[in-house]
Amino acid sequence: MLNFSSIIFGLLFISGVSIFVINCKKIIRNIQIGKKISRSDNKKERFFKMLRLAFGQSKMLDKPIVGLLHLVVYVAFILINIEIIEIIIDGFSGSHRALAPFLGNFYNFLIGFFEILALLVIISVLVFWLRRNVMNIRRLISSELKGWPKNDANYILYIEIILMFLFLNMNATDFHLQSSSYSQTYHSYGYFPVSQYIAPLYTNFSDFTVFCIERASWWFHIFGILFFLNYLYYSKHLHILLAFPNTYFSNLESLGKVDNLKSVYNEVKAMLDPNVDPYATPTENQPIEKFGASDVFDLNRFQLLNSYTCTECGRCSSECPANQTGKILSPRTIMMKTRDRLEEVGRNIDKNGKFIDDEKKLLDDYISKEELWACTTCNACTEACPIGIDPLSIILDMRRFLVMEQSSAPAELNNMMNNLENNGAPWPFNQQDRLNWKNK
């Protein structure tokens, strides 16, 4: 029979999961604003790439120390949260450690293993905090991280530490209560290699006080997990969930390969087709296709998924030669600004039921022409990303819009293209004079 605490738990759990589902639907809707892109080929190769990058963290280990610490936090996030299964059962049924009688000694091993992981997470998170706030690592103190991005990263670190301490404190008080007047409820289940050293702190406390602390730790722990789950929507830490689809649907082609615009291909094909009237105006069924991208509506769905998946780690920008030489371009900023614009469009839809033109664009209002033309297209950013994000594709699509829709390009580039058209070479020499250097 359900008691009052079970009802409260049920309301809390269902509310938390419901809000999370609503936010997930918003993310999916926002991503679907983009153009469809086919990434359903080579399923086996995509699956193993996802396992290697998202699950196996292979590219994170390029930086061994940081990669190992991140792996510890990641593994702990997956494994320790297995305990949520037991928490849910206990919460709805009003039981305590419901799985222990069924798992026997393996349950003791799990609790001990989880505690060691929790301690390693606390150590790892403290190192991450020091790196972000004390060690002045360039890619972690860049100007684009000031304000919310930096605070967001710190908030997550604080939440992780609090959750791990609550887990250990919950076990420490449980260990104390196993030999108290509450031993009929708190049976001798679990092995506590870490929390057993916290338990002596409660030696002089009454059994009832320790019981209250244990219950408070349990409730705050589940509330913290549900809060963290719903905080992800507002945080860069969405990559915890989105890294898997992002790596699965990432580009399998050589990173140096630039795709051809389908709209350009179709137009050239029509020009070469003798059956197509070059002077015919498009009908309603044949709208004029837009070249490139000026706003998030022109990007494809994978690019928009990229923007939500970006971890803001800055590996892309730290490898970018334009950024290293002081140019305004930062691939990380390109992804952050794309996500900001996409979120703004999403709020517009939430408010009006559909998108109402706000007289803003991703180009100029968020990303400047100077940023776009600073890119050398070397692909270092895409190569550096540990989860397959491709900032270059967004830069190229926006450049295409500038050149092909607005005829806007730097003077040097326009001169080069004019020379290619007129002289067959980038230099301003007559074609008949191109080989004169051989005679000198």
pLDDT, average across residues 128-155: 91
Residue 382, pLDDT score: 92
Q: How far apart are CA 196 and CA 51, in angstroms?
A: 36
Residue-level pLDDT at 288 = 66
Mean pLDDT computed over every residue of the chain: 89
**Residues paired with 35 in a beta bridge:** 300
Nearest CA among 321, 296, 305 for reference residue 401: 296
Reported as a single tens digit per residue, the pLDDT across 326-369 is 999 999 999 999 999 999 999 999 999 999 999 999 999 999 99
- Residues 80-112 have pLDDT tens digits of 777 888 889 999 988 888 888 888 899 999 999
Nearest to 152 by CA among 339, 280, 372: 339
pLDDT of residue 437 exceeding 60:
no
Q: Is the pLDDT of residue 434 over 90?
A: no
Give CA–CA dist 119/331, Å, rounded.
35
Task: Give yes or no for a contact between 117 and 80, defined as CB atoms under 8 angstroms apart.
Answer: yes
The confidence score (pLDDT) of residue 380 equals: 93
CA 160 – CA 225 distance, rounded (Å): 9
pLDDT attached to residue 1: 46
In terms of Cα–Cα distance, which of 94, 97, 89, 88 is closest to 174?
Answer: 97
- Quickly list H helices, 104-255: 105-133, 148-177, 207-231, 239-248
Indicate the pTM of the whole model: 0.88
How would residue 404 be classed by pLDDT, with cut points 50, 70 and 90? confident
pLDDT tens digits for range 227-267: 999 999 999 889 999 999 999 999 888 877 777 777 777 77
- The pLDDT tens digits of the residues spanning 275-321 come to 766 666 665 555 667 889 999 999 999 999 999 999 999 999 999 99
The continuous run of DSSP H or E covering 81 comes out as none
Proportion of the chain above pLDDT 90, given as a percent: 61
If we measure between CA atoms, which residue out of 79, 18, 53, 66 comes closest to residue 318? Answer: 66
What the block records as the tokens of 299 is 């990007």
Q: Above 70 in pLDDT, residue 392? A: yes
DSSP H stretches of helix in 51-147? 64-80, 83-93, 100-103, 105-133
The answer to whether residue 201 scores a pLDDT higher than 90 is yes
pLDDT for 416 equals 84
Measured CA to CA in angstroms, residue 313 lies from 194, 242, 374, 384 at distances of 31, 15, 21, 11
